[in-house]
Amino acid sequence: MNKRYSILSIVAVAAVAGILFGSTYSNTQSVAGNALGVSPETIDKVTPQTIDSVTAKDVQSAGGLEFKMFGADAIPLDQVAAEKAAGRTVHEITLTAQSVDLPIPGGKMYHAMTFDGQVPGPTIRVTQGDVIEVTLNVPSTELTPHSLDMHAGRISAVPNFLAVMPGKSNTYAYIANTPGAFKYHCEGVNVIGMDQHVLSGMYGMTIVDPLNGYHKLLIQRTATQNGQVVLNNTLISPAAYEFTLEFNQLYLNSDGSYNQAAMFLHNTTWTVINGKPFGYDPVVTKIWNNAPVAHDKSAPLILPVGQHIRYFVVNQGNMPLFFHIVGGQMDRVTQGNVVQAMGTQTWDIGGSQDAIIDAVYDEPGAYVIVNHDYAAIFTGAAAVQLAQASPAPNPSDAVPPTSSLPGTSIPQQTFVHCECTNERANEIGNMTGQ
Ligand SMILES: [Cu+2]
C-alpha cells in the first residue's frame, strides 16, 4: 500500500464512520472498527468523490461545523451517573487556583501560580477506563482568570479549557481511555499568558494505570557458569516502589516576577524537579539544607537495593529533558503501555511528553537523576538518590498516590516535602497522617 493510498484509507474510515453514525453519534460511543462494521473491503470502495460528498452532506445535516471530536473521551455532565451505573469508577476532583509566593534558593521568593498552593499540583491517579470529573475553582481573590487543560483525555479545548473568571468555577468530565503519565496545566486566559501560568507553577500529573496492570519487568544481566559468561535474565513482579518526577524551568526577574523575555531565549533561571531546584540534593549543593521550614529542606530519595523501582516522569517545561541516572541504567522505558526501550542509558522526553521508567539498583550507592543537559544540571535538574539495603521514608512530593490496581504500588512511608505554602504542607501532613 503506497503512502497516498494509506492516507486516503484513513480519511475513508472517518467518512464511512460518519455515514454510519450520521447525526446520532455521541462522544461516548465506541469507535472500534468492527463495532462499526467497517471492513477493509468497504473502505476500499470509498473513492475521493464519495468522501467529498459524504463529508459535505454530513456537515450540512449537522447544521454546520461543530467543535466536536469524533470518538472523543468527553462525557456530558448529566451522563456521568449513567457511566457510573454502567460500571465505571468516577473520580470527582477539585483543583483550586492559587497565586502565592514560594521560596527559591538564596532565601528569596518568587511569584508562583499554583493548583492548591503546591507546585506541582496534586498527582491524580486513576485506572484506564475511569471517569475523571474535574472542577477548577478560581477564588474571587485571584487577580487573573485561570483554566485547566488535561492531557489525559481527548476532549475539545472549547469550551472545556476556556478561562474561568475569578469567583467562578468550571467542571467537565471525560473517560481516561489511554494509560500513561499525563500533564495537566493551566491554559492561561484562553491561551494568553499560558507560558507564564505554567512556568510559574500551574501544572501537575495524572497517572492512568493500564486496565490490566503493568507488565512484569525483565532484568537482563549476566553470570558465569562452567567457566563461561551466560545470560542471567529474571522476570520480576510489576509491584514497585513508585516515584513521580516532574521537570520544568523557572524564568525570573530579580524581584521574583516572571521574565518572558528570558523564556523566549530559553535563558533558564532555575531548573526544577517537582517544583524545587536541587530539592533532593543535601550533598552537592546543599542549597536547601538550612531552609527555615521542614518541608523545604533537602531530602534525597531512598531506594531499596534489588527492588523494582518505577518512575513516572513528565517534562512540564519548554526545554528538552535528557533523562539519565548517573551510575544507573533504565531497565525499561514505557509510554502508554507500550515498551519503547530496554536497557538504555538516557531517554529523551520532549516538552509535555512523559515516560514510565523502570529500574533495579543492584548495589548500594548514590545514583543521581539528572537532565543530561549541562545547563539544566547546574541550574537545578539533579536529584540525589541513595540505594540502600532497606526501604526508608521518602519525600512526599516524589511519591504518587497508591494505585488501586492490586500488585502495583508497594506502599511507602513518606514525610512532608513540597514546594508549597505552610498551610498546604499542614494539609498534606493531615492527609498522610504525619
Ligand atoms: Cu492560570
Do residues 124 and 221 both lie within one domain?
no
pLDDT at position 434: 72
Tell me, in angstroms, the distance from the centre of ligand 1 to residue 402's CA: 28
Long-range pairs for 211-215 at CB < 8 Å and ≥24 separation?
211/127, 211/128, 211/129, 211/179, 213/238, 213/405, 213/407, 213/408, 214/238, 214/240, 214/310, 214/334, 214/337, 214/356, 214/408, 215/334, 215/337, 215/339
Q: Which residues lie below 8 Å from residue 368, measured CB to CB, with a gap of 6+?
A: 281, 325, 326, 327, 382, 383, 384, 385
Tell me, in angstroms, the distance from the centre of ligand 1 to residue 186's CA: 5
Do residues 342 and 412 both lie within one domain?
yes
As for how many domains the chain has, the answer is 3
Tell me, in angstroms, the distance from the centre of ligand 1 to residue 169's CA: 13
pLDDT at position 2: 40
Tell me, in angstroms, the distance from the centre of ligand 1 to residue 39's CA: 46
Do residues 280 and 143 both lie within one domain?
no
Out of 71, 94, 114, pick the residue that ends a domain. Answer: 71
Do residues 123 and 191 both lie within one domain?
yes
Give the tens place of pLDDT for each residue, 143-181.
999 999 999 999 999 999 999 999 999 999 999 999 999
Q: Which residues of the chain have pLDDT under 50?
A: 1-40, 43, 48-56, 59, 66-70
Tell me how far apart the alpha carbons of residues 377 and 189 are, in angstroms, rounded to a whole number.
32
Tell me, in angstroms, the distance from the centre of ligand 1 to residue 207's CA: 21
Do residues 237 and 326 both lie within one domain?
yes
Tell me, in angstroms, the distance from the centre of ligand 1 to residue 55's CA: 38
Out of 71, 91, 106, pick the residue that ends a domain. Answer: 71
Tell me, in angstroms, the distance from the centre of ligand 1 to residue 95's CA: 11
Tell me, in angstroms, the distance from the centre of ligand 1 to residue 113's CA: 7
pLDDT at position 432: 81
Range of the domain at 298: 217-432
Tell me, in angstroms, the distance from the centre of ligand 1 to residue 183's CA: 14
Tell me, in angstroms, the distance from the centre of ligand 1 to residue 326's CA: 35
Tell me, in angstroms, the distance from the centre of ligand 1 to residue 273's CA: 20
Q: Quote the pTM value.
A: 0.84
Tell me, in angstroms, the distance from the centre of ligand 1 to residue 122's CA: 15
Out of 27, 56, 71, pick the residue that ends a domain. Answer: 71
Do residues 221 and 265 both lie within one domain?
yes
Tell me, in angstroms, the distance from the centre of ligand 1 to residue 197's CA: 5
Do residues 387 and 313 both lie within one domain?
yes
Tell me, in angstroms, the distance from the centre of ligand 1 to residue 265's CA: 22
Tell me, in angstroms, the distance from the centre of ligand 1 to residue 147's CA: 6
Beta bridge partners of 123: none
Tell me, in angstroms, the distance from the centre of ligand 1 to residue 315's CA: 18
Q: Is the CB of residue 78 less than 8 Å from the CB of residue 119?
A: no
Tell me, in angstroms, the distance from the centre of ligand 1 to residue 409's CA: 32
Tell me, in angstroms, the distance from the centre of ligand 1 to residue 92's CA: 21
Task: Determine whether 193 is exposed, middle or buried from the number of CB atoms within 10 Å of its CB (0-12, 13-18, 19+).
Answer: buried
Tell me, in angstroms, the distance from the centre of ligand 1 to residue 142's CA: 10
pLDDT at position 31: 35
Tell me, in angstroms, the distance from the centre of ligand 1 to residue 146's CA: 4
Q: Is the CB of residue 145 less than 8 Å from the CB of residue 138?
A: yes
Tell me, in angstroms, the distance from the centre of ligand 1 to residue 166's CA: 11
Do residues 10 and 154 both lie within one domain?
no
Tell me, in angstroms, the distance from the centre of ligand 1 to residue 421's CA: 17
What's the CATH code of the domain at 246?
Answer: 2.60.40.420
Give the tens place of pLDDT for each residue, 40-66.
455 455 554 444 444 445 545 555 554
Do residues 136 and 276 both lie within one domain?
no
Do residues 245 and 368 both lie within one domain?
yes
Tell me, in angstroms, the distance from the centre of ligand 1 to residue 194's CA: 7
Tell me, in angstroms, the distance from the centre of ligand 1 to residue 98's CA: 9
